[in-house]
Structure 1
Amino acid sequence: MRTIATALVLSVVAAGLAGSVPAGAAGVPIDCPVSMASVGDDGHYRSIGVSHSTGQAPEVTDFGAVSGLTSIRSLATGSFDADTMIPEESFQETTHLGTGTNVIFRLVARADNDGVRATAENLASRWGGFRRTVMASSLLPNSYLYALHDSGYLYRYLATSGPYGPAPTAAGRVAGFGTVRDITLIGRTPQYDALLANTTTGRLILVKIPTTARMTATTTTIRSRTWQVFDHLAIGNCSDASGGTVTTLIGVNSATGEAYAYRMGFVRDASTPIQSLGRLAGTWRYPTLTTVFEATSHPRGA
């Protein structure tokens, strides 16, 4: 029987929060590796990995232009699967949902003995207006796609028949998210999904959505100012020596090409500890950016 790999290493400061790390410095240790992905202006899919320290440039793997991709506006959370036990059949594969100007698509990035490549398939039309998407999937019973619309509504869709196809079906919506810049998955339990978001007004917020038939959402302010500078958020989770949960949060300002890292405790409310680790090495000009998690796990940071 094949064994699914359990180790995944793919390859912020908002004003007033912390200082930066000079280029070439050893940097500050990073607790948890963060795996990300992007589709650039050139149409290329790239995996991006941050680990070790803030002074080390991210590991970036270019999978080339995405075959079949007609347009892109959002790229949802990636699900990573790997089998490396049989050398002649070894593979690593990441699956995403995403939206274009009027479509929802499934993107698969694969690395195996034949090289690396990425392909996309349109699943349905009439999906215009969505600027951010988040996939909450794992071995839990339901896989939900959260889609932030330009109208300020946060939509929920049920994704079935994995991996991520056919097109998800509607499962509710809530209003009041018009000021959100980016939103990412930070926690998942059988009872709720937890999303971390920042707003154009500077807030860092936690959004909890019960996994019930009727969609509702509660919003808690974690920090009240300075977080508006980031257009992308990404997270990685791990355990500390005492068995508690630690989260590495990365905030990216793609306009300036800068990214910053933070160490966070379990996210509950304004008392949540957040420690700045400083500026990350490298240039971070990514028009889309999303976190990638292992297919057999899910984040537990909130």
Structure 2
Amino acid sequence: MIAVGRRRVRGTSAVLGLTLLVAGLTPGVARAAGTVAEGSTAAALACSVNLGSLTGDQHILREVRATKPVTVTETRSTTGVYPVGGRPALQSYFTYEPGVANDGYSAGLAVQQGVMYEIAYSTASTDGPAVPPRQRKRIGGGWDGFRLLEQVQWQSPNFTMPLRRSVYAVHDDGVLHRWTIDPAGVWRKAESAPGFASLKSIAMISKNYSFDTFLANTRGGALYTIRIPTTAALKPVVTMVRSKTWQGFESLVAQSCSLGEVVVAIDGDTESAYLYAIGHANGAKTPIELRGQLPGGYADPLWFRWGTAPENEIFRGDN
């Protein structure tokens, strides 16, 4: 298993000091009792996406808050993440676990020059270089033809069940692959399912013991959910959410909560990004509200989600 689990602060939910609550849904959809008012200071703190990007060998964290207008704050940057092998072609989400001061520990998966690695590094401050111990564990080659990658780690909050790690990747031929990683860190035989050639990006919106769900957009403009059982054979259930207008986004990054998802959609051609509040996934009836355009430019070549220890994450986009 990657070293991410070795510095875990068990029983806490301090992912960069943020609480994950969606503050708004589409017009006409009733607000749940007790939620904060849109545009309020409480909403700014509560409704956030931990948006990560990679430029050169630098990891960046931006807090994207679902206020109106949307606010964005860069809170951390780390240089020297990939001193060997160059910028990765693919990268999974990365965990970040804060230390006792401003230090922290980050870990994830990356594909460099066609080879999959487990990457882990420490930081001594919120802005500065990655410092030892640094880990770059080679998993294996043959990854040149893959274009989408994500890892899902699920752990029951009370640790009554073992950690589940699943790695998903889409090949250029449109085949979706899944590997499982056992507690010893061994990658098990991949399963596969065809039919995903049109996907442009994926973002996890649900995870539990029995299934994972992704939000995905296509080159043709459709928006789908892809629900994948984890306790049975790889047989994805694909459901259309919208039939058009989503083709312009190269990256989707989602943060989930009890009311739905907060999703950052990034258009690489225009170097712009938009924030959406997406209610509980229910096919074409899924409520979607555009919260607004993010200020600033978004030209970084790779975007991802910053997460925390698996037992502290709740993703229930279609539970």
For normalisation by structure 2, the TM-score amounts to 0.77
Give the alignment of 1:167-246 within 5 angstroms.
Answer: 168-239=187-258, 245-246=259-260
Find the aligned partners of 2:61 and 2:295 in 1 and give their Cα distance: 16
Deviation at 1:6, TM superposition (A): 1.4
Q: Which amino acid aligns with 1:226?
A: T
The RMSD of aligned alpha carbons is 2.8
Assess, with a 3 A threshold, how the Cα gap between structure 1 residues 69 and 62 changes in structure 2: closer, same or farther: farther
Find the aligned partners of 1:155 and 1:76 in 2 and give their Cα distance: 14
- Correspondence 1:117 to 2:130: yes
Length, aligned pairs only: 276
Unmatched tracts of structure 2, length 5 or more: 1-7, 19-38, 157-161
Which of residues 160, 164, 172 is equivalent to 1:150? Answer: 172
1:237-261 superposed Cα distances (whole Å, 9 cap, x missing partner): 234xxxxx23111100122110001
Give the alignment of 1:259-274 within 5 angstroms.
Answer: 259-274=273-288
Find the aligned partners of 1:190 and 1:196 in 2 and give their Cα distance: 18
Find the aligned partners of 1:50 and 1:109 in 2 and give their Cα distance: 24
Kept after mapping to 1: 8 A contact 2:52/2:59 = yes
Instruction: Look up the SS of the partner of 2:247 in the other structure.
Output: helix
Deviation at 1:286, TM superposition (A): 2.0
Residue aligning to 2:315: 299
Which of residues 25, 30, 34 is equivalent to 2:49? Answer: 34
Q: Which moved more, 1:147-156 or 1:121-130?
A: 121-130
1:84-138 superposed Cα distances (whole Å, 9 cap, x missing partner): 3xx5xx7422211122331101222433369541756232222221111111102
Find the aligned partners of 1:51 and 1:39 in 2 and give their Cα distance: 20
1:184-243 superposed Cα distances (whole Å, 9 cap, x missing partner): 11101211100110000001100000013421111000011000100000111234xxxx
For normalisation by structure 1, the TM-score amounts to 0.81
Instruction: Look up the SS of the partner of 2:189 in the other structure.
Output: strand
Q: Which amino acid aligns with 1:50?
A: V
Assess, with a 3 A threshold, how the Cα gap between structure 1 residues 52 and 228 changes in structure 2: closer, same or farther: closer
Percent identity, aligned pairs only, is 24
Find the aligned partners of 1:210 and 1:233 in 2 and give their Cα distance: 22
Unmatched tracts of structure 1, length 5 or more: 12-26, 240-244
Residue aligning to 1:130: 146
Residue aligning to 2:16: 9
Assess, with a 3 A threshold, how the Cα gap between structure 1 residues 228 and 113 changes in structure 2: closer, same or farther: closer
1:67-95 superposed Cα distances (whole Å, 9 cap, x missing partner): 224451111122232343xx5xx742221
Find the aligned partners of 2:110 and 2:237 in 1 and give their Cα distance: 25
Residue aligning to 1:24: none
